[in-house]
Amino acid sequence: MSKGGRETPLESAAPSASPAPPALAGKVALVTGGGRGMGRGHALRLGRLGAAVAVADLNLMGAVEADEAAGDVISELEAGGAPAVGLEVDVADRSAVEAMTERVVDRFGALDVLVCNAGSMGALERSSATIASAESLRSILETNLLGTINCCQAAAAHLKVGGWGKVVNVSSLAAIRPQAGGAFAPYVTAKAAVIGYSLSLADELAPHGVTVNAIAPGSIDTPLTRGLFSDMDDREAHARVPLGRFGTVADVTGVVEFLSSPLSDYVTGQVICVDGGLSITDALHGSGVDGAG
């Protein structure tokens, strides 16, 4: 307060602070399954946080071909100022994953954040627990579970180098709350195993300053879920979710941002449901579930 009783403007009382650098400035992130859907959203969010981003996918043009975006994710990242590289890789191929990881480190000099998003739900038809074929089970396990393990094992040594690192593995609410009638049993099995693996990895990497967490998305509105489930616009289905709606890609990427940044440095070995509260109610058992986005 000035002598005459008038307040002194804050800007004249102290110099303005410099803007804080982005949360992941100088960090390097690798996102699998990042060509479209939720994975694309994760990659773009990490790029906006200042990270250099490597995106791995079977088809990096997937979003363009599916009319989800006008340009591929690498072009979008670079347009936003993020250094980026795209790699077309099958995460079920261990040697290809190892080569991918080395290429990322060679390109950017480090690897600090790993988001294992690559996955596949398979077809609804003949997917129940008693009749799912061995071929279907093997294919789903290879992509969702072995793909995650391959990436985590290839990245582990690099993540430990700096004494700080983040792993976010994408499971699904289906792993905790299976589909009615046993549908998508191979997918449910694989995503449940991703949670178990994540907990073991978290314990092993904790002494090195690396956190490992899993997210379990519920009913998330993506082109993938719209192709699999018929109730994505059903008001009654939305109303059964405690928060009154299905989730968006942005809802999930917000949690990935938290788990990939220093904000979560004391959070490890956790499974976070991103489901609008669906996991606390029985109201929607058997409706659409995502997690492979």
Q: Which residue reads 């072009």 in tokens?
A: 75
Q: Which residue reads 């939305």 in tokens?
A: 238
Question: What tokens appear for 192 in the block?
Answer: 């449940």
Question: What tokens appear for 29 in the block?
Answer: 């992130």
Q: What is the largest CA-CA distance in the chain?
A: 84
Measured between alpha carbons, how far is 18 from 171 in angstroms, rounded to an integer? 39
Amino acid at 171: S
Q: Distance of CA 78 to CAs 74, 81, 103, Å?
A: 6, 5, 18
Catalogue the active-site residues.
187
Q: Which residue reads 């290839």 in tokens?
A: 154
Question: What tokens appear for 62 in the block?
Answer: 């997937």
